[in-house]
Amino acid sequence: MSSAEWADGASRAPGPPGFDLDHAGLKAWLQEDDPARLELLWMEADRVRKARVGDAVHLRGLIEVSSHCVRHCLYCGLRAPTVELERFRMEADEILACAQEAHRLGYGSVVLQAGEDPGLTKAFITEVVRAIKGDTPLAVTLSLGERDDEELREWKAAGADRYLLRFETTDPVLYRRIHPNLPGVPSDRFAQLQRMRTMGYEIGTGVMVGIPGQTWDTLASDILRFREFDMDMIGVGPFLPSPRTPLGGQGVAAFLAAPSDQVPNDELTTLKAVALTRLVCPDSNIPSTTALATLDQARGRELGLLRGANVVMPNVTPVHYRIRYEIYPGKACVNETAEACQDCLDGRIRSLGRSLGKGPGGRSSRAM
């Protein structure tokens, strides 16, 4: 059954036999703690992953192109009010060199990610996208935050293939709380995702698991929204508190006092969310996130790949910039060169009996 058929059956409880994937079913699965039941979930997520997107693990080289940011998102270490950060913005030729390195390492795509930085102008990104597309066969994904339609259209015309913008939460009250508006600049990530789809981008989104204020109901709704929007890529990782932010330091206690049914930001809950995301969006590309690998440096990457994920995003940013792109502390592999990272990942992926993806690794099919 296609995800679109699922989407219009809101009153049904779709899913593989024994798996009710309506709101109540998802909420119950998220809170499940019986090891035997969880084993069923892991097996089903892995079965669906294998049947629908296969054994290839697609590698996307992540390039952290700028740590400047104008936004005040309460969870992110790059937020504008953080003063003790040494900010950087890469030059066009440096970004191109990273993309060439990703191509040399055999990756099929690169992701240009940054804080929301007006210094990354329309013309600059256009030039960078054109250079990468002209010089390599890589698919190019942008993840530059909320940008206006004129920019997005021009970058698409320059050859950008995909855009990642996590909607972060379906709860509008929580959304506003963690994303203080800039004066005169409202924030509407769902609207931008819709418009980007119309422009022809493959679109990716996602949420953090355990952001303060997230309840089981919220997270179940988030997962249902992935299906309603038929997202091409879905990143789900644990919230990792940054001491530089209001949600990481002393202030968090006041914020957290609210819900009694707060979702924990732990590995098990994240893995349940990843597995359920695979069941509701069987054809989507789902990364085993760096945040998960940071929480469990020994096994996080592998466990994500075993429980529904089929993508990894190795960091190809030069190490001296990477350590300054501190969204949260202790980021996995922060000191490893792209080459070292590649050797390690290659071994980890093969040890699971999986293969390295070839080519750009786009969404294989979409029910329109």
Residue stretches of the annotated binding site: 69, 73, 76, 143, 168, 240
Residues 273-292: x/- map of binding to ligand SAH (CB under 6 A)? Answer: ------------------x-
Our measurement of the distance from residue 59's CA atom to the centroid of its chain's CA atoms, rounded to an integer in Å, reads 13
- Nearest Cα neighbor of 249 from 116, 82, 68 is 82
Among 240, 274, 332, 341, binds ligand SAH (CB under 6 A): 240
DSSP letters for 75-123: T-TT-TT--S----B--HHHHHHHHHHHHHTT-SEEEEEESS-TTS-HH
- CA dist., res. 138 & res. 225, Å (int): 29
Least gap, CB of 357 to ligand SAH (angstroms): 22
Among 272, 273, 328, 354, binds ligand SAH (CB under 6 A): 328
Least gap, CB of 207 to ligand SAH (angstroms): 7
- Nearest Cα neighbor of 276 from 213, 332, 203, 216 is 216
Least gap, CB of 7 to ligand SAH (angstroms): 23
- CA dist., res. 11 & res. 326, Å (int): 42
Residues 123-162: x/- map of binding to ligand SAH (CB under 6 A)? Answer: --------------------x-x-----------------
- CA dist., res. 78 & res. 92, Å (int): 21
Token representation of residue 258? 């609210």
Least gap, CB of 104 to ligand SAH (angstroms): 25
Stretch that binds ligand SAH, among 16-24, 111-119, 176-184, 310-318 (CB under 6 A): 111-119
- Nearest Cα neighbor of 204 from 113, 296, 305 is 113
Annotated binding-site ranges for S-adenosyl-L-methionine:
168, 240
What is the binding site for ligand SAH (CB under 6 A)?
75-76, 113, 115-116, 143, 145, 165-166, 168, 208, 237, 239-240, 242, 291, 327-328
